[in-house]
Each structure stands twice: as structure tokens, then as C-alpha cells.
Copies of this chain bind each other. A is one copy, B any other.
Amino acid sequence: MNVTIRDVARLANVSVATVSRVLNASAPVREDTRVRVLKVARDLRFAPNSAARTLSSRQASALGVILPDLYGEFFSELLRGIDLEAQRAGHSLLVSSSHHDTHGVTVAVRAMRGRVDGLLVMAPELSPAALATAIPEGLPIVILNAPPTPGAAASVVVDNMGGTRAVVHHLVELGHREVAFICGPPRNTDARARLRGYRAAMRSAGLTVQPEFVLPGDFTEDGGWKAARALMAGAGKRPTALFAANDAMAVGALLAFHEANIDVPGDMSIVGFDDIPIARYVTPSLTTVRVAIDVLGGRAAALLFRALADPVNWNETLKEVVPAELIVRHSCGPPRTDTIR
């Protein structure tokens, strides 16, 4: 490397200890030596070596973020929320994505060992047990969108149940009886919770869910498009409303219906989930469930900082639920009555 604290010390005629004290304000230093050291440091464009500092002080000033993917607005919003909170605390972000299986997560976690103070892990496709084996001891961890895992300091989850209930309620109030659902990836925790919520809400509304109205999906636009096509190709009765487990799929479905000249919301009502930024800009603007994704990320980071600040008490795992609120826009309406059709 380049210029070290030794160089600064030598040129300022002090010991390295004093330089360190000046730079970190960790102990009182006489004013004149302070300015002298500062001047030399600036002249030399000295920047402390973070690796050495981390090693010595056992403080990395960095958070690790492990994500399953980076595709789409959901993750950029999440990351944005985390970054904002981390930056406020003067921490950097170590990001690692594309980890779908236990092995991938394990490797990513290992790579972060020693360079982060804590971990934010989102691994919606891993079972809590699998996740538990992947995470190291001795490092505070906050789990995103998954139930509290043994060994984790905290977890923050979205109120999928509340959100789905609100959606189904809204559709039923509009008069819909036949509501189809596009699932997310089969092993994704959020996706499963939303499917469960949909089923439960339908049941409690006294409606039955036709098996052919539950369509497979994968959280991508293309997946939503395909599901909508499958729905249209279906032989039986067509539903009057379609509930997609996330916004990306809802947007894809919107396109499929548009291509098929099926009017939304006239002939088909569509609802999404997440309220990604683009949701209000598609036509018709998407009725969806608002999850403040950036807030979700920020909350998680804040929880992690709390665990960091007070290392004693994170044996009691705490769980936070981020609210999910129905946002009514223009992609839903009453079902067209049969007489008109």
C-alpha cells in the first residue's frame, strides 16, 4: 500500500499512537500537536487502512447483506433502505446476491467473516433449519422475510396475511366471486404466506377456490404473463379477478390481457403485491398492497444496529412485522354482470 500511519507519525514527530488518537479523537491530545498531525495527514493524503483497523479494533464498520437475487425494483428498494440506515451510522455495505441454496449462503457468509459487524440475510427459499446451519455463531444476524431462526438476533417480516386479507376483502366487496391467484416460487416464504393468506381469506368470505384458478408463478413479469395466458387458454369458466403474489407478475399479466384485448378492469380486475415504484405508472395503474420496501430494509438495519450496540440481550430473538396496506388504484372494478356479457 501507500502511505501509512507510520509515515504520518514520522513527519509529524510524534508516535503512531498519537496519530491514531488524533484521527479517532479517542483521547485528548494537545491542540498544537493535533493540528500538526492533521496537517501532515492531509498533506500526505493519508487514509487509514480499513483492514488493519478492523483487525485491531474488532470493529468493521460494515454490514453484510445477503440476497437471493438483485433482479427488479424490489431489491433495489430494499438495498436503498438498508444503505440509508447504514450510512447514517457510518457503516458500509457488503452486498452479495444470487444465493438460492444453503451452500451459496454458507459460502457468502464465510466470505464476510471478519469484514462485517453483523449480517442482514434474506433467503426466502431456505428453511429455517437450513438457514440455521449456514449462519455463524458470534455474529448478530437479522433475518429478512422469514420466521425467526435459531441463532438470529431478530427478524423482520411483511404482514402477508393482513395484506392478502385486505385484497380479497376488497375484491369481494366489489362483487367478485371467482378470484384467481398467481403464486410465487413454490419454496419462497413470502410466496407461501401469500398463498395461504389468499386461501384463508377466500374461505372466510365463504368462497371456494377452484384448483385451476391457482396458477404457478415465479415473481417475474414473464411468469405473470405466462400465468395469464394459461388462464385465458383454460377451458372452464374464467375468473373475474386475478390476484398476483407480487407486482412484477401483475404487470406481466396486465400485458397479457392487453395483448388479448381483455379490458382491465372492465373484464378482469388485477391486484398485485409490494407496491414497487412502477406500480402507479402502468396502465391502468395497479391496485396493490403497499409494503414500504425501503422501510423494511431500514428497519432491519436498525434492528441490527440495536443488537450491535447491546450484545448482551440478543439472546431473546425479537420479531418485527412491517404493515401491508391496500392501495386502491385503477386496475380493479366490479365484475361485468353476466347479462351484459
A83:B111 contact, CB within 8 angstroms: no
A114 CA to B62 CA, complexed, in Å: 13
Q: Which chain B residue shows the least CB distance to A221?
A: B281
Which residues on the B side are within 8 Å of A70 (C-beta)?
76, 79-80, 83
Contacts of A2 in B (CB 8 A): 136-138
* A72 near B277: Cβ-Cβ < 8 Å: yes
In the complex formed, the residue of B with least CB distance to A224 is B281
Q: Is the CB of B221 within 8 A of A49?
A: no
Q: Mark A79-122, 1 if CB is under 8 A from B, else 0.
A: 11001100100001111111000000000001111110000000
Instruction: Check if A47 sits within 8 Å of B136, measured CB to CB.
Output: yes
Complex Cα–Cα for A198 and B278 (A):
26
How many residues from A make CB contacts under 8 Å with B?
Answer: 56
CB neighbours of A113 from chain B (8 A): 47-50
Q: How far is the CA of A115 from the CA of B80 in the complex (A)?
A: 22
A258 to chain B minimum Cβ distance, whole angstroms, is 5
Write out the residue numbers on chain B whose beta carbons fall within 8 Å of the beta carbon of A115: 50-51, 54, 62, 92, 115
**Stretch among A169-177, A247-255, A306-314 lining the B interface:** A247-255
**Which residues of the other chain, B, contact A283 by a CB distance below 8 angstroms?**
254-255, 258, 282-283
- State how many angstroms separate the Cβ of A44 from the closest Cβ of chain B: 11
Report B-chain residues with C-beta under 8 Å of the C-beta of A76.
Answer: 70-73, 75-76, 79
Apart from A72-B73, A83-B95, A254-B281: 14 A-B pairs, beta carbons within 8 A = A45-B136, A47-B113, A49-B113, A51-B52, A51-B60, A70-B76, A71-B80, A79-B95, A92-B94, A93-B96, A94-B94, A221-B277, A255-B280, A283-B283
Residues of A bordering B, CB below 8 Å:
1-2, 45, 47-55, 58, 60-62, 70-73, 75-76, 79-80, 83-84, 87, 92-98, 110-115, 136-138, 221, 251-252, 254-255, 258, 277-278, 280-283, 285
30 of the cross-chain contacts (CB-CB < 8 Å) are: A1-B114, A45-B136, A47-B110, A47-B113, A47-B114, A47-B136, A48-B113, A48-B114, A49-B55, A49-B114, A50-B111, A50-B112, A51-B55, A51-B114, A54-B115, A71-B76, A76-B79, A83-B95, A83-B96, A83-B98, A92-B111, A93-B95, A93-B96, A221-B278, A251-B278, A254-B281, A255-B281, A255-B283, A255-B285, A281-B282
